[in-house]
Structure 1
Amino acid sequence: MTVADILMLFSVICIWSLLLVNVVLIVAGYLYYVQSEGEEIPEIDGEMPFVSIMVPAHNEGIVIVKTVESLLALDYPHDRYEIIVINDNSSDNSGVLLQHLQSKHPSRNLNIISTDSITGGKGKSNALNIGFAQSKGELIAIYDADNTPEKTALRYLVAEIMNDQTLGAVVGKFRTRNRDTNLLTRFINIETLSFQWMAQAGRWKLFKLCTIPGTNFIMRRHIVEHIGGWDVKAIAEDTEISFRIYMMGYRIKFQPKAVTWEQEPQTLKVWFKQRTRWAKGNIYVIVKNARLLFDPSAKNIRFDILYFLSIYFLLLTSLVMSDVLLILHALGYVRTTIAGFSLFLWMLAITMFIVGTYITLITEKGEMRLSNLWIIMLMYVSYCQMWMVVAAYGLYTYLKDLVFKREVKWYKTERY
């Protein structure tokens, strides 16, 4: 067996191992969706807990009014929640728009905190820490500035966390508001439903694990106080804080009925910058928590650590290696006897990807369309391949920042 054969075999085993893990998560996630459809949201006993909703916003004038108005319209007792918008060193008209909203709703608990270049402008984690210092709620909810949550979203999140003391946080689901804008937003919509949320549902069903997204979630105040707030060095602050909640012995539950709608990138440039930030942020979290693999107290979260390590290191390496070897074999530069078998497995993997992705879409109303099959096929040969570039570039920029000891900069997603 040649060196090329050994490398190809290693790549195939790694890719298929992760593919099978993903299949198991999809099946478990699908079962959880079916189960949750038949379950009622628990009732909240006694007085509704007071909730602080925090919205970090930097130059969000295009979307902030719609977001705040949707939060004001939640079907939660108006005297039992406050909205804290952290207008974080904005240079647009966000401040004027927020002041107008405040004067328009004088009887509501709408608090606007404006920062400058000295106190703010340092990323989402810093903004959340500033908002938390002025919050009063026993529960803390977070929404991004481009969100329009459904009226029931907050009530569902509160009901779940108040009826289970083992839960440190409960996350809802976000949907793509601008999914029909262009081909890219349709790809993102499918990715969100099939990979982000189905994986969340599967991990909760199998391991009672779930990772906090950047928006539409609720957590207990005393947890934030105990861990000292958000890590200002983490640009994937949601994943980072999830691991610290795990280590306190709490669970994080996924409740798919609590839905918010958000705006996704509409151009490749904006998408690439956003996803590179996500990749670099998640790599920071992986490196920070890799030691927990050998910590007996972290045995319940080893799956998540291995899962993230495999995706950002093992899968990326295996995909790049196998693609390079197949190209070199076709050009005659290397000789591998299992290239034909690898090609067969590659085609089988594509088939499983298309079928599995389409099956996950049927859990959502309005997504059972035949046209989605063609979109998924096109997605595999284009969008999914771009993920490798994003992950590789995220790793490169992380290492570059580490070597040159550069301060991590936050990139705000452009709105439309």
Structure 2
Amino acid sequence: MNRLSFDDIKLCCKYNVVFLSDKQHIGHCGLSSDTRYKIRKFYKRKIRFVRISEKYRNAILQKYLIKYSTCIPENFCTAQNPKYKNIILFVIILLICYLANFFGNVGVYLLNLIYFLYYTMKFITIFACHKSTHNKNSSKIEKYPVYSIIIPLYKESHMVHSILNSVYSLEYPKNMLDVLVVLEEDDAETIEVVTQYQSERHFRSIIVPNSIPRTKSKACKYALPFVKGELLTIYDAEDIPEKDQLIKVSEVFMNNKDLFCVQCRLNFYNKEHNLLTKLLSIEYKIHFDFFLQSLANLALIVPLGGTSNHFNVHMLTQQNNWDPYNVTEDADIAVRYYKPRYITISNSYTYEESVYSLHAWIKQRSRWIKGFLQTFCTHSKEILQENDIKKQISFLMLFGIPNLIILTSPFVLFHNILYGYNSLYTAMNLLCFYITEVVLVIFVHKNLRNILIYLLYPVYLTFFLPVASYVALYSLYRNPYYWSKTEHTGKR
């Protein structure tokens, strides 16, 4: 039998049927005449229906879904392709050569120029172009579309009550909600808790069988054929979206038919817990409230957040969507689906739980950096061959240069300590970076109440991010598709 299309698999999930030896024979466990008519009408051909056992049907359907969510079709750029070990060894050799002064003044000047241009572009981008556009033009709609919500959970039994309460507190017609809780087969504890809640709440649970890779993107892709809505969003276990979020976003979609995705703003409900959570809250506010909005306004690539991205389901399913081997599915799909003004930023917030400790932060941030490195290695050849200068510049600005900066900045400092010359260029760049970030933070918050924390923000970027980047490199070398899970406490 030929490879099944997404529409074929979606039909199988909708009616609980499977294809047998060919697409002329459909196996089922009991179908009404009305359903048989709908299937024949969909395919516009004669179809023979064969009654089979439920166990046999479920086994075939599971096989379809595993193949769809893990197998890579031809001509699909995937994080499975790059030879990461060779790339990482090459990067290490270059860094050692730089530290050994193999490149002399040329290396120093080049890196400092890259640093200066990047921070100047980022500064100008945020200051000049951060005002929202789509949200102001949205008008009320008479009939809201069916809205699907995917909630991937793994080892999160203690978070089930919280996320279901958040979802069912949303101000959206309950009969238009299609909630799917996606679970892993080996997570018996969370499955048990979710089963208990199914008697109280109307949602479906999708159990993903054990298969490689074990990533969030694979789980979402496995659940996608079960989606019934015109719009789809993904929430993490600890998320608390604003109650009117779905209404706001659906109005944006209905008034802007060409939109692929609306990204909601993210921040933390526990941001006052300690110094780290305060610094992370500052970083999120700059990134989601200003930087992403600026990129969207300039029609550049907008790297999505890991949660609260709202999709047009029709557009999402027209391509092969998530790469199951990329550990930052959000960034990858933003590159994969890029078109000018295809993504916008909503003024609605979702509040998450910030990590509390430096160890948890390194674990989380190293996965993000690892995913951005995967995305850069996966798409760079294809994008640099395209005749789209805006796409190329934004791709390098988001996935190439930032990784270069955080990987090389400690080597630049050590180089100056070892050789003691050309330190003026580095000192000027560091001063420029420090002032830029502090001014940016003050501009974003528009007050000086927490000035001491603002002054520490560039220090956090300078010394913490390189540590996470080296952990990311090591993980990319040893286990490139390992999805390092962030633990949540559920405390507010």
Normalising by structure 1, what TM-score?
0.85
Q: What CA distance in whole angstroms lies between the structure 2 residues aligned with 1:6 and 1:297?
A: 30
Question: Match of 1:394?
Answer: 472
Deviation at 1:152, TM superposition (A): 0.9
Q: What CA distance in whole angstroms lies between the structure 1 residues aligned with 2:367 and 2:292?
A: 20
Identify the match of residue 151 of structure 1 among 221, 243, 261.
Answer: 243
Identify the match of residue 9 of structure 1 among 109, 127, 130.
Answer: 109
Identify the match of residue 206 of structure 2 among 113, 116, 132.
Answer: 113
Q: Does 2:404 align with 1:314?
A: yes
3-state SS, counterpart of residue 258 of structure 1: strand
Q: What CA distance in whole angstroms lies between the structure 2 residues aligned with 1:295 and 1:164?
A: 31
Q: What CA distance in whole angstroms lies between the structure 2 residues aligned with 1:407 and 1:209?
A: 24
Deviation at 1:233, TM superposition (A): 0.5
Q: Does 2:455 align with 1:377?
A: yes
Q: Is the 8 A contact 2:264 2:349 kept in 1?
A: yes
Deviation at 1:83, TM superposition (A): 0.9
Identify the match of residue 20 of structure 1 among 99, 111, 120.
Answer: 120
Identity of aligned pairs, percent?
21
3-state SS, counterpart of residue 179 of structure 1: coil
Could you give the per-residue CA deviations for residues 88-132 of structure 1, whole angstroms, max 9, x where no partner exists? 246364233323332223xx3x1122344x258822112112221
CA 1:408/1:120 → structure 2, altered by over 3 Å: closer, same or farther?
closer
| Greater displacement, 281-290 / 198-207 | 198-207
CA 1:234/1:184 → structure 2, altered by over 3 Å: closer, same or farther?
same
Question: Match of 2:215?
Answer: 123
Q: What CA distance in whole angstroms lies between the structure 1 residues aligned with 2:274 and 2:357?
A: 9
Question: Match of 1:331?
Answer: none
Which ranges of structure 2 fall in alignment gaps of 5 or more residues? 1-101
Identify the match of residue 253 of structure 1 among 344, 347, 360.
Answer: 344
Deviation at 1:260, TM superposition (A): 0.7
Q: What CA distance in whole angstroms lies between the structure 1 residues aligned with 2:400 and 2:217?
A: 26
Q: Is the 8 A contact 2:261 2:311 kept in 1?
A: yes
Q: What CA distance in whole angstroms lies between the structure 2 residues aligned with 1:306 and 1:48?
A: 39
Could you give the per-residue CA deviations for residues 156-201 of structure 1, whole angstroms, max 9, x where no partner exists? 1111122112211111111111111111111111111123442101
Identify the match of residue 164 of structure 1 among 240, 252, 256.
Answer: 256
Deviation at 1:42, TM superposition (A): 1.4
Question: Match of 1:210?
Answer: 302
Deviation at 1:18, TM superposition (A): 0.8
CA 1:10/1:73 → structure 2, altered by over 3 Å: closer, same or farther?
same
Q: What CA distance in whole angstroms lies between the structure 2 residues aligned with 1:348 and 1:245?
A: 35
Q: Does 2:228 align with 1:133?
A: no
Q: Is the 8 A contact 2:362 2:467 kept in 1?
A: no
Q: How many residues align?
A: 388
3-state SS, counterpart of residue 285 of structure 1: helix
| Greater displacement, 218-227 / 73-82 | 218-227
Question: Match of 2:384?
Answer: 294
Identify the match of residue 357 of structure 1 among 441, 465, 480.
Answer: 441
Deviation at 1:349, TM superposition (A): 2.7
CA 1:309/1:228 → structure 2, altered by over 3 Å: closer, same or farther?
closer
Which ranges of structure 1 fall in alignment gaps of 5 or more residues? 329-333, 363-367
Q: Does 2:195 align with 1:85?
A: no
Instruction: Report the residue type matching 2:345 in the other structure.
Output: F
Q: What CA distance in whole angstroms lies between the structure 2 residues aligned with 1:287 and 1:16?
A: 24
Question: Match of 2:168?
Answer: 72
Question: Match of 1:95?
Answer: 191
Instruction: Report the residue type matching 1:251 in the other structure.
Output: Y
CA 1:46/1:351 → structure 2, altered by over 3 Å: closer, same or farther?
same
Deviation at 1:357, TM superposition (A): 1.7
The structure that has the greater radius of gyration is 2
Question: Match of 1:62?
Answer: 158
Deviation at 1:263, TM superposition (A): 0.7
CA 1:90/1:258 → structure 2, altered by over 3 Å: closer, same or farther?
farther
Normalising by structure 2, what TM-score?
0.73
3-state SS, counterpart of residue 265 of structure 2: strand
